[in-house]
Amino acid sequence: MTVEVLRLGHRPIRDKRITTHIGLVARAFGADKMLLPERDENIEKSVCSLVENWGGDFSIDIVGDWKSYIRGFKGTVVHLTMYGMPVDEAIGDVTGDVLVVVGSEKVPRFVFDNADYNISIGNQPHSEVSALAIFLDRFFDGAGLKRDFGGKLKIEPSTSSKIVKSE
Ligand code: SAM
């Protein structure tokens, strides 16, 4: 089973940090890759250097024609939107390989019509980063956070200090 996250509407200057954070959250919460419609070397560099140090197989792919990618996806397409069905009602139906679509500003109607599930994380507007984190946490039932990434750097949890071990 694989989980891919398609980030739509990325504006290279304005959304640099948010799109990077989508990549970081996707990886940390258990997804396998982030897909972008167009190349953005800054984002690829920051996410790849994090993977280099902290481990795992997370990658970024460029899909180009994202509509064809959604249409051709062999698995379940989930669109996270404040207008969708409550996550706790829908999550049990989401199985197999999953493509999670998150937007930025206005998401084209095409996405609502071509997703298998339009899912909301509450019906208030918030952020694609928080929506993705909560969706993945529910989908993996908390297990995404407990994975061992096998990285060069590892944190030893502590009540009072920063302990980072490097291999
Ligand atoms: N009108 C948008 C919508 O359809 O959810 C809100 C725009 S919001 C700035 C950008 C992205 O955050 C959305 O495309 C969606 O992926 C995500 N998002 C924001 N609030 C959400 C919520 N309550 N539930 C699920 N996703 C949400």
| Ligand 1 pocket at CB < 6 A | 80-83, 102-104, 107, 120-122, 124-128, 131
48-64 pLDDT per residue, tens: 999 999 999 999 999 99
* pLDDT value of position 53: 96
Residue 33's pLDDT band, with cuts at 50, 70 and 90, is: very high
What would the CATH number be for the domain defined by 3-166? 3.40.1280.10
| Measured distance CA(137)–CA(147) in Å, rounded | 12
Kindly indicate the confidence band of residue 87, based on its pLDDT and cuts at 50, 70 and 90.
very high
Question: What stretches of 76-148 adopt beta strand conformation (E)?
Answer: 76-86, 98-102, 117-120
CA of 61 to the centre of ligand 1 (A): 22
For the chain, the first-to-last Cα distance in angstroms comes to 30
- Give the containing element (helix H, strand E) for 164: strand 164-166
- 2 pLDDT higher than 90: yes
**Residue 105: pLDDT over 90:** no
- Ligand 1 center from residue 81 Cα (angstroms): 4
pLDDT at 85: 98
Query: Could you tell me the pTM of the whole model?
Result: 0.96
